[in-house]
């Protein structure tokens, strides 16, 4: 089978890596990919958001199955374009992608179908938004309505910060059109976790649980990013919590979609705050998380392409989880997330490749003069397996220590939040 993966990041490298292990694959393509992806897949020189050109390519080339990584092509209607041409593609339609594409849509939907989430209000008018913030005070969370690549949500601990954020988003157009409308949300306290399921209409299959590290710096300080590291599974979601997430979040959402007449097929990602009252949805994404996909797919056993195809065709599939832990440390460029540097030569990749239980997924990398160089904010995902989380962490950081490029930055505390849970014994798993 000819299989196409759409996207350029670490998540797409992990998807392609997993798919490439399937005996069903005859040729694997990636649009556009990165230096790591081009080692395992043929480069298609079309931007992931040029959805018409991609459908045209897939049709001409006879691509049998396409998997979409990022949100932008989904929100731009890549699935609709492919389906018009009778091509099989795993991802939600443009309509269903609004769950991620518009925070206001997602919040209204959650309210209507009683999916637990933070209280909120939506504003198009700057003065009214300001008055509201003055009314409710801090802490409060200001979110841009549209897609903003992880930069659209600001947790504001002072009223002043909230007002400045409103001004940036609504007046100064800091996020372009995405921030003209804002959602202002109640601040939730708790522990974050990511719960991702594969959906086909009213069927769904949970993938392994995971936890992302959204802030740039150790101890959850600094600005929000796309994600600086992740591990799977997470003890933040124990058996009872998973039952509640399935019932209160996933099943209510799928039921709501059905009632709205919106067909959803693809990955549905619930970004959750596990609060003292239970799970609450911070955001929905209509795709796998990045970096969560990396440790998740490392732990999915078996032929993932077979699973996706069977599931796509409406058959039930089970996910068998590798009992080991997997942990991913993201290495980013100096200047990320604001203005990442590019073009720095990366050293140590060959040495790391030979390490046992270590897997590298490229993100912002490219090839220049025969060398692998940095080409974006998040550059590499250094991942490792371990029989314990501690072992996975040690192996991943050992590998990180062998990699070098000028200005590289990474968090040193990926996974540490889990140790607090494991030490408290809230999970039967060994730490
Ligand atoms: P979002 O893009 O909506 O997932 O928000 C990005 C990040 O901001 C989340 O991962 C949280 O760390 C934080 N955040 C968002 N909404 C809230 C909230 N209501 N309360 C506390 N933190 C939040
Ligand atoms: N890591 C968070 C996301 O993919 O949205």
Q: Which domains does the chain have, with CATH numbers?
A: 2-93 (3.40.50.20), 125-180 (3.30.1490.20), 191-423 (3.30.470.20)
CA of 58 to the centre of ligand 1 (A): 37
- Collapsing DSSP states into helix, strand and coil, what is residue 373? strand
Decide: 212 in ligand 2 pocket, CB within 6 A.
yes
Tens-place pLDDT, residues 40-59: 999 999 999 999 999 999 99
Residue 11 CA, closest ligand 2 atom number: 4
Decide: 227 in ligand 2 pocket, CB within 6 A.
yes
Decide: 116 in ligand 2 pocket, CB within 6 A.
no
Residue 280 CA, closest ligand 1 atom number: 19
User: Residue of the nearest CA to atom 2 in ligand 2?
Assistant: 289
| 148 against 355, higher pLDDT | 355
Residue 184 above 70 pLDDT?
A: yes
Decide: 295 in ligand 2 pocket, CB within 6 A.
no
User: Residue of the nearest CA to atom 5 in ligand 2?
Assistant: 289
Tens-place pLDDT, residues 66-123: 999 999 999 999 999 999 999 999 999 999 999 998 888 999 999 999 999 999 999 9
The residue to mutate among 147, 151, 285, having the most atoms of ligand 2 within 8 angstroms of its beta carbon, is 285
CA of 280 to the centre of ligand 2 (A): 16
Exposure b/e, 307-335, CB count within 10 A at least 16 = b: bbbebbeeeebebeeeebbbbbbbbbbee
The residue to mutate among 150, 283, 287, 288, having the most atoms of ligand 2 within 8 angstroms of its beta carbon, is 150
Q: Is the dihedral of CA 317, 72, 255, 211 positive or negative?
A: positive
pLDDT, average across residues 138-154: 84
Return the closest-CA partner of residue 394 out of 234, 220, 231.
Answer: 231
pLDDT, average across residues 252-278: 97
């Amino acid at each position: 089978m000819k299989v196409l993966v759409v996207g350029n990041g670490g998540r797409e490298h992990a998807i392609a890596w997993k798919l490439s292990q399937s005996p069903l694959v005859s040729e694997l393509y990636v649009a556009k990919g990165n230096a790591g992806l081009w080692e395992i897949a043929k480069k298609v020189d079309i931007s992931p958001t040029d959805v018409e050109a991609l459908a045209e390519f897939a049709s001409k080339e006879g691509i049998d199955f396409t998997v979409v990584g990022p949100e932008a092509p989904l929100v731009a209607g890549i699935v609709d374009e492919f389906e018009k041409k009778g091509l099989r593609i795993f991802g939600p339609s443009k309509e269903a992608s609004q769950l991620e594409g518009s925070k206001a849509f997602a919040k209204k939907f959650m309210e209507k179908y009683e999916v637990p989430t933070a209280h909120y209000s939506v504003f198009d008018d700057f003065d009214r938004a300001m008055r509201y913030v003055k009314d409710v005070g801090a802490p409060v969370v200001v979110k841009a309505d549209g897609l903003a690549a992880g930069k659209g949500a600001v947790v504001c601990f002072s009223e002043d910060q909230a007002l400045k954020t409103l001004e940036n988003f609504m007046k100064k157009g800091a996020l372009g059109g995405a921030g003209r409308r804002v959602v202002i949300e109640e601040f939730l306290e708790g522990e974050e976790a990511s719960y991702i399921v594969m959906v086909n209409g009213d069927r769904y299959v949970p993938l392994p649980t995971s936890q992302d590290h959204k802030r740039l710096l150790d101890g959850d300080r600094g600005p929000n990013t796309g994600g600086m590291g992740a591990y799977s599974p997470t003890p933040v979601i124990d058996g009872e919590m998973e039952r509640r997430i399935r019932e209160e979040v996933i099943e209510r959402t799928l039921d709501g979609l059905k009632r709205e007449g919106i067909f959803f097929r693809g990955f549905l990602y619930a970004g959750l705050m596990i609060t003292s009252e239970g799970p609450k949805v911070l955001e929905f994404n209509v795709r796998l998380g990045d970096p969560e996909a990396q440790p998740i797919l490392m732990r999915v056993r078996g032929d993932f392409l077979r699973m996706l195809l069977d599931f796509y065709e409406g058959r039930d599939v089970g996910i068998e989880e590798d009992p080991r832990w997997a942990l991913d440390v993201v290495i980013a460029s100096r200047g990320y997330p604001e203005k990442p540097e590019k073009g720095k030569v990366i050293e140590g990749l060959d040495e790391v490749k030979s390490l046992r239980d270590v897997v590298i997924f490229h993100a912002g990398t490219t090839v220049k003069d025969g060398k692998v160089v940095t080409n974006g904010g998040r550059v590499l995902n250094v991942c490792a397996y371990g029989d314990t989380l501690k072992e996975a962490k040690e192996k991943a950081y050992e590998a990180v220590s062998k990699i070098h490029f000028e200005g590289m930055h990474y968090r040193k505390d990926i996974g540490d939040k889990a140790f607090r849970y494991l030490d408290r014994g809230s999970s039967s798993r060994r730490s």
